[in-house]
Structure 1
Amino acid sequence: MTTIPVGPPTGPSFFEQIGGHDTFVRLVDTFYRGVADDAVLRPMYPEQDLGPARERLTLFLEQYWGGPTTYSAQRGHPRLRMRHNPFKVNPDARDRWLAHMRVAVDELDLPPLQQETLWSYLERAAFAMVNTFED
């Protein structure tokens, strides 16, 4: 007789597989180092200090990948498109975001499967955030 597992999957979450909190902090810190000097992306962050943006992205990614649910506890449902709607996210902004994120993902030096899993999600998310095709 074959039993079919019921309930959540067992084993480590993706969050745990890639190193947990420290890995996401490294990813986000590297990403924002690029954003800090980007003439198109930097104006989308109203705070003088990118620290709050770093924290929000870290918490979001950790939660998305099976880590702590602190993001939702502090900010509610992610509603990514709604939160990005006030900003002009055109293909140029998307491509710049992806370029900085590519550097950050590559610096993590993850195993190929985890790297592709993470990158695939980030790429889909970036394309989904485009809300205008105007310059």
Structure 2
Amino acid sequence: MSNPGEPIASPVTLRVSEHGDSALGSFYEQVGGRPTFERLVRAFYAGVATDQVLTDMYPEEDHEGAIQRLTGFLEQYWGGPGTYSEERGHPRLRMRHMPFKVNPDARDRWLLHMRAAVDSLELPPLQDATLWGYLERAAHAMVNTFDD
């Protein structure tokens, strides 16, 4: 049992000692850092650009901005630089998505394009499952309506 305030080791992080640094680096480092997350996000937005349900949420004139914001968020979440929060504050994902109708169909289409993007990275199975698990949970959490 851990003491309050004591760090809890992640089940997917090998550490040099019980509470020491990661033996293999952060997940961000393990998958290749920013270039990997940028490839992921660019592949995702290539799919989104072909999906009429999602294009309304991702206007073409803001694609590059959206790419940079999602890349920055993901790299920060997975252990990279904290630039996203420095520039935009707390992520507040649900709040930022409230202006958009995110119903189960939109969620499923988002997941379809994100799954294709994750597959394009050809990550080792544990890293693929770790990344996908987070993305899938996040997508389900963004649903804010069940209206068509």
Common fold, TM-score beyond 0.5?
yes
Question: For residues 75-118 of structure 1, what are the alpha-carbon distances to aligned partners after superposition, in whole Å with 9 as ceiling and x for unaligned?
Answer: 00000000000000000000000000000000100000000000
Deviating beyond 2 angstroms after TM superposition, the runs of 4 or more aligned structure 1 residues are 8-11
1:97 aligned partner: 110
1:37 positional shift: 1.5
Aligned residues: 131
Question: For residues 12-49 of structure 1, what are the alpha-carbon distances to aligned partners after superposition, in whole Å with 9 as ceiling and x for unaligned?
Answer: 00000001011001000000000112101111124524
1:130 maps to 2:140 = no
Identity within the alignment, %: 69
1:10 positional shift: 2.6
List alignment gaps of at least 5 residues for structure 2: 1-16
2:37 to 7, 24, 34: 24
Distance 2:22 2:111 in 1: 32
1:10 maps to 2:22 = yes
> What value does the CA root-mean-square deviation take over the aligned residues?
1.3
List alignment gaps of at least 5 residues for structure 1: none
Please, what TM-score do these two structures have when normalized by structure 2?
Answer: 0.85
Distance 2:38 2:83 in 1: 14
1:80 partner amino acid: L
Please, what TM-score do these two structures have when normalized by structure 1?
Answer: 0.93
1:67 maps to 2:92 = no
1:14 partner amino acid: F
1:77 aligned partner: 90
